[in-house]
């Protein structure tokens, strides 16, 4: 279903080395037939990923496309009057086409050069709690996936399991939503349109209700919407899987408070507890915000007898300005 749109993308493919000076006659430069650019449907998995990592990332990427497709189809079909759409994006006229276009872009933009890698080239994975990061200026289309991602994230089938709620659990609980977030950081995916304009679930909803100008391009609102629609339409989780928004973000950078899914437990054999995971973002103005969340446990992939305990883990990524999350954190398996 993705291939046919390649033709429309090709218009952007101006040849860089034209024999005619741009100033001489601009019309001659563009009104020529030109070859299509190379078009890649899929995100590439770097050779640094071993067989296990590759299999898990392939599944994670398939999950990502599944969730994005459900979100895209939901928006296209139910339109801007839909209550779930308005919950996350408000009532601005431009929101419908903007949101629809963002999901379309994520699904069909040219993935040439868009890469997930496993070799920790910037050395960030050594920092406690790091599950992955966008490479920023070092390679704008590349994302590093750190080892913790493989133990901490769930596949789509686990939506609405173990006390997960869209409102109360970290957005990155599932691979799919996490990779949607990471893809939004890659400039070529939405031409850099999506950014961070809210702090957490509650503030994203508040933005939609009172100040929706940025909601349609807000990374958290888009992720939460995709999770919400998937949870209800596909996972059939209903109200229980959506949950209630906690109080609006207090803007304190202090101790993270966790909510709904704090006691998420996993397989009977594994006792897993979690607390105070944080997700940090640095905003365009340079301020850093870390949001408190209950982090889902990793027990599903750990040894059956293991008791997994995570405390104050962070989901960190580095932004274009080089800023990153600095708070100490630990994940322990014992
Ligand atoms: C892949 O790498 C991970 C750790 O980075 C390791 O635990 C796993 O055994 C490796 N898998 C293979 C098939 O080499
Ligand atoms: C880019 O590379 C430099 C040098 O290796 C490193 O210090 C920096 O953290 C990297 N940036 C990101 C976003 O990882
Ligand atoms: C609306 O939201 C944007 C982005 O978060 C913010 O910069 C702006 O100050 C907000 N406006 C009002 C009136 O709250």
Instruction: Annotate 263-281 with DSSP letters as a single string.
Output: G---STT--EEEE-EEEEE
Contacts of 119 (CB under 8 A, 6+ apart): 46, 48, 144
Ligand with an atom nearest the CA of residue 51: 1
If one compares 36 and 139, the residue with the highest pLDDT of the two is 139
Residue-level pLDDT at 25: 65
Per-residue confidence band for 28, with pLDDT thresholds at 50, 70 and 90: low
Task: Summarize the confidence of residues 137-141 as an average pLDDT.
Answer: 97
Q: Residue 243 class from Cβ within 10 Å (0-12 exposed, 13-18 middle, 19+ buried)?
A: buried
Per-residue confidence band for 321, with pLDDT thresholds at 50, 70 and 90: very low
Residue-level pLDDT at 44: 98
Instruction: Determine the distance separating the centroid of ligand 3 and the alpha carbon of 184, expressed in angstroms.
Output: 21
Residue-level pLDDT at 23: 53
Q: Which of 50, 54, 125, 302 to mutate to test the pocket of ligand 1 (most atoms within 8 A of CB)?
A: 50
Q: How far apart are CA 212 and CA 98, in angstroms?
A: 12
pLDDT score of 233 more than 50: yes
Task: Summarize the confidence of residues 170-174 as an average pLDDT.
Answer: 97
Per-residue confidence band for 17, with pLDDT thresholds at 50, 70 and 90: very low
Q: Which of 53, 116, 119 to mutate to test the pocket of ligand 1 (most atoms within 8 A of CB)?
A: 53
Q: In this structure, which residue's CA is closest to atom 1 in ligand 1?
A: 50
If one compares 108 and 293, the residue with the highest pLDDT of the two is 108
Residue 198's region, left for phi above 0, alpha for psi from -120 to 50, else beta, is beta
Which atom, in ligand 2's list, is nearest to the CA of 319?
Answer: 13
Contacts of 241 (CB under 8 A, 6+ apart): 159, 160, 164, 165, 166, 231, 232, 235
| Residue ranges of E strands in 171-282 | 272-275, 277-282
Which atom, in ligand 1's list, is nearest to the CA of 118?
Answer: 5
Residue-level pLDDT at 242: 98
pLDDT score of 266 more than 60: no
| Residue ranges of E strands in the chain | 44-45, 115-117, 132-134, 142-145, 272-275, 277-282, 288-293, 308-311, 314-315, 330-333
Across all residues in the chain, what is the average pLDDT? 76
Q: How far apart are CA 272 and CA 269, in angstroms?
A: 10
CB 99 within 8 A of CB 216: yes
Q: In this structure, which residue's CA is closest to atom 11 in ligand 3?
A: 211
Q: How far apart are CA 77 and CA 65, in angstroms?
A: 18
Sign of CA dihedral 131, 136, 138, 141: positive
The least confident of 64-78, 107-121, 288-302 is: 288-302
Per-residue confidence band for 75, with pLDDT thresholds at 50, 70 and 90: very high
Q: Which domains does the chain have, with CATH numbers?
A: 1-39 (no CATH), 43-245 (3.40.390.10)
pLDDT score of 293 more than 90: no
For the chain, what percent of residues have pLDDT higher than 70? 65
Instruction: List own/partner pairs for 94-98 with CB under 8 A and 24 or more apart.
Output: 94/216, 95/212, 95/215, 95/216, 98/193, 98/216, 98/217
Q: Which tokens sit at 295? A: 């982090």
Q: What is the pLDDT of residues 80-89, one digit of tens each?
A: 999 999 999 9
Q: Which tokens sit at 111? A: 């993935």
pLDDT score of 299 more than 80: no
Which atom, in ligand 3's list, is nearest to the CA of 210?
Answer: 14
pLDDT score of 200 more than 80: yes
Per-residue confidence band for 40, with pLDDT thresholds at 50, 70 and 90: very high
Does this model's pTM top 0.95? My answer is no
Q: What is the pLDDT of residues 84-133, one digit of tens each?
A: 999 999 999 999 999 999 999 999 999 999 999 999 999 999 999 999 99
* Residues in the ligand 2 pocket, defined by CB under 6 Å: 122, 124, 135-136, 138, 318
Instruction: Determine the distance separating the centroid of ligand 1 and the alpha carbon of 56, expressed in angstroms.
Output: 11
């Amino acid at each position: 279903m993705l291939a046919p749109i390649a033709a429309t993308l090709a218009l952007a493919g101006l040849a860089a080395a034209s024999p005619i000076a741009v100033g001489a006659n601009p019309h001659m430069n563009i009104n020529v037939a030109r070859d299509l650019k190379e078009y890649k449907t899929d995100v590439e998995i770097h050779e640094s990923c071993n067989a296990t990592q590759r299999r898990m990332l392939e599944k994670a990427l398939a999950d990502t496309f599944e969730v994005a497709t459900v979100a895209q189809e939901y928006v296209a079909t139910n339109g801007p009057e839909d209550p779930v759409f308005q919950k996350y994006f408000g009532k601005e006229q431009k929101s419908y086409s903007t949101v629809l276009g963002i999901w379309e872009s994520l699904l069909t933009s040219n993935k040439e050069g868009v890469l997930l890698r496993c070799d920790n080239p910037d050395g960030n994975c050594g920092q406690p709690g790091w599950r992955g990061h966008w490479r920023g200026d070092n390679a704008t289309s590349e994302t590093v996936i750190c080892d913790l991602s493989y133990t901490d994230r769930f596949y789509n089938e686990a939506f609405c399991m173990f006390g997960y709620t869209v409102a109360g659990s970290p957005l990155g609980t599932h691979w799919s939503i996490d990779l949607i977030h990471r893809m939004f950081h890659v400039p070529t995916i939405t031409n850099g349109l999506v950014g961070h304009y809210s702090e957490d679930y509650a503030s994203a909803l508040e933005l939609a209700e009172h100040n929706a100008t940025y909601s349609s391009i807000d990374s958290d609102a888009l992720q939460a919407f995709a999770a919400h629609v998937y949870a209800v339409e596909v996972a059939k989780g209903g109200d229980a899987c959506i949950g209630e928004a906690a109080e609006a973000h207090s803007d304190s950078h202090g101790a993270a408070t966790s909510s709904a899914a704090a006691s998420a437990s996993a397989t009977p054999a594994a006792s897993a507890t979690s607390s105070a995971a944080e997700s940090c973002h640095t905003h365009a103005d340079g301020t850093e915000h870390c949001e408190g969340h209950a982090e889902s446990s990793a027990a599903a992939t750990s040894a059956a007898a293991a008791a997994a305990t995570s405390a104050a883990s962070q989901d960190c990524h580095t932004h274009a300005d080089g800023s990153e999350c600095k708070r100490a954190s630990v994940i322990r398996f014992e």
